[in-house]
Amino acid sequence: MKPRFKPYRGPSGGWGSAYSVGNILLRERAPLTGAMALLRQNRPISGFACVSCAWAKPHPSKPLAFCENGAKATAWETTSLRCTPEFFAQHRLSELRNWSDYDLEQQGRLTHPMRWDAGSDRYLPVSWDEAIAEIGAELKALDDPDQAVFYASGRASLEASYLWQLLARRFGTNNLPDSSNMCHESTSVALPESIGVPVGTVTLNDFAKTDGILIFGHNTSSNSPRLLHDLEAARGRDAPILTFNPLRERGLERFTDPQSPTQMLSGHSIVVSTHYHQVAIGGDVAAIAGICKALLALDDEALASGQPSVLDRVFIEQHTQGFEAFEQAVRAYAWADLERRSGLTRGAMEGAAKVYAGCQRVIAIYGMGLTQHRHGVTNIQMLVNLLLMRGNLGKEGAGICPVRGHSNVQGQRTVGITEKVAQVPVERLREQFAFEVPAEDGVSTVDACEGIIAGRIRAFLSLGGNFVRAAPDSHRLEPAWSKLRLTVQIVTKLNRSALVHGEKAYILPCLGRTEMDRQASGLQYHTTEDSTACIRAWQGVVKPAGELLRSEPAIIAALAKATLPDNPLMNWDAWVADYGLIREAIAGSYPEIFHDFNTRMLEPGGFHRPLGASQRQWATDSGRANFVVPKTLAMNDDVEPDPERRDVLNLMTIRSNDQFNTTVYGYNDRFRGVRGTRSVILMHRNDMTRLGLNEGDQVQASTAVDDGVPRSVGPLRVTPHDIPEGCCAAYYPECNALLPLWHHEEKAKVPAAKSIPVTLRRLIAMAQTR
Ligand SMILES: Nc1nc2c(c(=O)[nH]1)N[C@H]1C(S)=C(S)[C@@H](COP(=O)(O)OP(=O)(O)OC[C@H]3O[C@@H](n4cnc5c(=O)[nH]c(N)nc54)[C@H](O)[C@@H]3O)O[C@H]1N2
Ligand SMILES: Nc1nc2c(c(=O)[nH]1)N[C@H]1C(S)=C(S)[C@@H](COP(=O)(O)OP(=O)(O)OC[C@H]3O[C@@H](n4cnc5c(=O)[nH]c(N)nc54)[C@H](O)[C@@H]3O)O[C@H]1N2
Ligand SMILES: [Mo]
């Protein structure tokens, strides 16, 4: 397809979305299975939880409880295409390494366990028994358990995740990084310090009650489309929605509900964001500080004229700590500084404060635009500060709402997938299984990459995901990765992490969530936790993609039996035969959250984990909700370019509407008007003019940091876009080679993928390409 570039003027949802769903069902050659599966998507208990995003599923569910991208994810998994031993026989890995992400996954579902054969440079089929025994032997041969890493992408169920962490810990390591380390770990660090919980406080019930919504750095229409229904309902009650995003994301402007026949037929669409603020990349702390400053001014005025305070002074007095210091800091910021850093005018920030002050119950939603920065934790804490000023926490219709990424990434952390020992129920695990959890923290994603590059890590096992492609500094990581002794991919499709492999490399194909998982005791349930901390049971509905596929719990149990010393308290066979027994073990480790797990998971709508902050109980050091004064307004001070250098732009790496992380469904980003290619860089016209670039020029982007490592990606097509000057955008994962490993959130270590300083060099002028 010839690339095309044309601004998209339609709404999100609507016919474009319906067309896109039909298209992918056909492309995956799964029109029937896929369409049938969709009818059971997000149906509680006898249906499966969508494998795409982590947004909450309403109860009772809607007749068609899925969205465009959820449908794509289902089609991707229920595809009739198969990546068989015959495929591997035809292609050496040296050849496959030149294939695109799209072409690799388009081969379809993996069907056989495979082992890399050095002689022929191919993956050859291997029996499960052999593969598992060899992996066990390799692990046991390591000098030190900390030489192994047990990575998890966020899809695996609570049951599989719990077994995975038990395997790693009993083996002797807390090396359990997961995709959260690249995603919402900033949340997991920020929220406990501020309000004493590691997750968002908002439930769907709050969305039904709220009268104002703030959205920071989240591309809702592509990445959690079902959330648009909740926004639509709030707009129906006239609640203002204030969006802060450098890009004018079309889906946050207008939406047509594809499941509403009247809206579809009449072409009606609703305005999603009543106020759209194109904040500069990394300008959020300054923008929020400006709103707080304007709020204080409004409060001064109100008090001076004998009106009630604009702040919730009773809440601040009874429930918070640190307000005076925060107030002082905010008053001291100069408007000129706030304007320069946020890219917003003082008037815009004052306007936002006025709208905010007019709402009684406000929800603040955020995504990667806040978390993936050097000071991502500060970003989130600043947003909490704004909520605290008007008591918008621990009351109905209000709260903080991090929108998680993978469908069970929040749940994985809840059941022990974490490198941090402080978050592990060490004593309970000792009582349950008579072993000692290793005392040392394990590695995060960034630490793991450092360990691989330095040669400290020798074995890398992945429960899902595509680590090599998702992690930063690809050109440094890939050569180091292939020096590993052992790489094991438990996956559903072939991706780059299996092609850039260790000396001993295995692919272990597993069942996906849409598929029926039959074990000795019958068809199994599995459970997940969504972004609103709601835990529910699901069941696959589709026939497995191959007879040899095993479930994730079955694979983990087999690995455990081949690796760990016998322990009658860890009955891996019984766990695999009946996942209800795994849930009993989970309840034993986390009784406050999971007591009576097997019964409560079947309650209509599932159950919520208890969150103190929702009850205004603050499990923080101070016993109160903490106002946190930002150390700096500069969000990315480790890469801030010399202000004299006008040639450096701030690059954010983003997702298109046609991908799920490293899975590329297609080459269209409908809402952003890009068709047929992903090799683009979206820029402001003034920057193009200033840098002497024309639309259609092909450029190479290079990272503008001085650490002796050359990093560049290209060719990228210069494409004008509505984005603040000085900012530009290009797609992840292609641009991960530009992201230095050391450029990460200061405390949470999330790679700062939204702020990479780059310079552009023209490779081919547009005129020459004609
Ligand atoms: N279809 C689909 N769904 C998905 C995914 C997918 O790839 N495809 N991925 C899943 C995963 S794992 C995750 S984590 C989520 C990701 O979902 P999002 O959190 O939406 O992540 P991104 O797509 O990276 O988009 C980040 C948004 O933040 C904006 N942004 C960038 N920098 C800044 C900034 O400095 N300030 C502000 N205010 N905004 C900024 C960008 O313009 C963009 O709109 O989605 C999940 N759902
Ligand atoms: N530059 C940049 N880098 C980023 C980001 C960014 O915005 N910019 N975002 C980061 C974020 S938020 C995240 S979450 C990470 C994502 O990082 P990962 O979670 O590691 O990557 P995914 O692309 O989601 O993994 C896709 C693979 O998972 C496997 N898979 C799919 N379903 C299943 C299943 O049911 N079971 C198993 N076992 N395997 C399955 C398939 O083989 C597929 O190829 O990337 C991060 N990297
Ligand atoms: Mo994510």
Please report, as a single letter, which amino acid is at residue 713: V
CA 206 to centroid of ligand 1, rounded, Å: 23
Helix (H, G, I), strand (E, B) or coil at 333: coil
CA of 659 to the centre of ligand 2 (A): 11
Q: Which long-range contacts (CB under 8 A, 24 or more apart) does 125-131 make?
A: 125/85, 125/88, 126/506, 128/508, 128/548, 128/550, 128/558, 131/506, 131/508
Atom 4 of ligand 2, nearest CA residue: 470
For the chain, the first-to-last Cα distance in angstroms comes to: 17
Mean pLDDT of 115-137: 98
* Residue 768 predicted with pLDDT over 70: no
For the stretch 347-382, what's the b/e string if a residue is b when 16 or more beta carbons lie within 10 angstroms of its beta carbon? Answer: ebbbbbbebbbebbbbbbbbbbbbbbbbbbbbbbbb
Percent of the chain with pLDDT over 90: 83
Does the pLDDT value for residue 617 go beyond 80? yes
The domains of the chain are located at 4-77, 82-180+408-594, 185-403, 649-764
Ligand 1 probe mutation, 153, 218, 672, 678, most atoms within 8 A of CB: 218
Which residue has better confidence, 177 or 251?
Answer: 177
| Residues constituting the chain | 770
Cα of 99 to ligand 1 centre, how many Å?
A: 26
CA 182 to chain CA centroid, Å, is 8
Which of the listed residues 81, 151, 153, 373 should we mutate to test ligand 2's pocket, taking the one with most ligand atoms within 8 A of CB? 153
Report, as an integer, the average pLDDT of 455-483: 96
Residue whose CB lies within 8 A of the most ligand 1 atoms, among 652, 669, 728, 750, for a mutation test: 652
Ligand 1 binding pocket mutation candidate from 413, 654, 672, 674 (most atoms within 8 A of CB): 654
> Please, which pLDDT band fits residue 56 given cuts at 50, 70 and 90?
confident
Render pLDDT for 562-592 as a digit per residue (tens, 0 to 9): 999 999 999 999 999 999 999 999 999 999 9
Q: Which CATH number fits domain 649-764: 3.30.1360.180, 1.10.3720.10, 2.40.40.20, 3.40.190.10?
A: 2.40.40.20
CA-nearest residue for atom 3, ligand 1, is 223
CATH 3.30.1330.10 holds for 185-403: no
Query: pLDDT tens for residues 271-280?
Result: 889 999 999 9
CB of residue 393 inside a 6 A radius of ligand 2: no
CB within 8 Å of 136: residues ≥ 6 apart: 559, 561, 562, 563
Strands (E) located in 368-499: 399-402, 459-463, 486-491
The C-alpha atoms of residue 114 and residue 151 are separated, in whole angstroms, by 20
CA 290 to CA 268: how far, in whole Å? 36
User: Vertex 445, ends 443 and 448: CA angle to 5°?
Assistant: 55
Instruction: Answer whether 183 contacts ligand 2 (Cβ < 6 A).
Output: yes
Q: How far is the CA of 499 from the centre of ligand 2 (A)?
A: 16
Residue with tokens 């406080």: 201
For residue 419, the model assigns a pLDDT of 97
Report how far apart, in Å, the C-alpha atoms of 139 and of each of 236, 395, 434, 485, 488 are: 57, 50, 22, 10, 11
Task: Please give the structure tokens belonging to residue 608.
Answer: 């919520």
What is the third-level CATH fold of 82-180+408-594?
A: Rossmann fold (3.40.50)
**Ligand 1 atom with the shortest distance to the CA of 409:** 12
Ligand 1 atom closest to the CA of 729, numbered from 1: 42
Mean of pLDDT values over 365-383: 98
Mean pLDDT (the chain) is 93
Q: What is the pLDDT of residues 172-226, one digit of tens each?
A: 999 999 999 999 999 999 999 999 999 999 999 999 999 999 999 999 988 998 8
Give per-residue pLDDT as tens, 690-727.
Answer: 999 999 999 999 999 999 999 999 999 999 999 999 99
pLDDT-derived band at 766 (thresholds 50, 70, 90) equals confident
Nearest CA to 371 out of 744, 729, 758 is that of: 744
pTM of the entire predicted model? 0.95
Q: What is the pLDDT of residues 351-368, one digit of tens each?
A: 999 999 999 999 999 999
The mean pLDDT of 316-337, rounded to a whole number, is 98
Q: How far is the CA of 403 from the centre of ligand 1 (A)?
A: 9
- % of the chain exceeding 70 in pLDDT: 94
What is the model's pLDDT at position 14?
A: 66
Decide: helix, strand or coil at residue 733. Answer: coil
Q: How would residue 64 be classed by pLDDT, with cut points 50, 70 and 90?
A: low
pLDDT, tens digit (0-9, with 9 covering 90-100), for 382-417: 999 999 999 999 999 999 999 999 999 999 999 999
Which band of pLDDT confidence, cut at 50, 70 and 90, is reported for residue 118? very high
Residue nearest to atom 17 of ligand 2 (CA): 470
> Residue 260: pLDDT above 80?
no
The predicted pLDDT at position 291 comes to 98
pLDDT: which is higher, 587 or 26: 587
- Ligand 1 centroid from CA 706, angstroms: 28
- Assess whether pLDDT exceeds 70 at residue 45: no
pLDDT, residue 767, reads: 66
Mean pLDDT of 374-387: 98
CA–CA gap between residue 245 and residue 722 (Å, rounded): 11
Cα–ligand 3 centroid distance for 748 (angstroms): 14
Q: Tell me what the mean pLDDT of segment 727-743 comes to.
A: 98
pLDDT surpasses 70 at 36: no
Q: Give the least confident one: 25-34, 268-277, 664-673.
A: 25-34
Do the beta carbons of residue 173 and residue 731 sit within 8 Å? no
Cβ proximity of 674 and 656 under 8 Å: yes
* Cα(140)–Cα(144) distance, integer angstroms: 9
Please give the distance, rounded to the nearest whole angstrom, from the Cα atom of residue 315 to the centre of ligand 3.
Answer: 33
Q: How many angstroms separate the CA atoms of 489 and 494, rounded? A: 9
- Look at residues 705, 143, 759 and name the one whose alpha carbon lies nearest to residue 457: 143
Q: How far apart are CA 742 and CA 145, in angstroms?
A: 25
Give the per-residue pLDDT at 271: 82
The SS3 assignment for 12 reads: strand
Give yes or no for residue 491 CB within 6 A of ligand 2: yes
Burial class (CB in 10 A: 0-12, 13-18, 19+), 117: middle
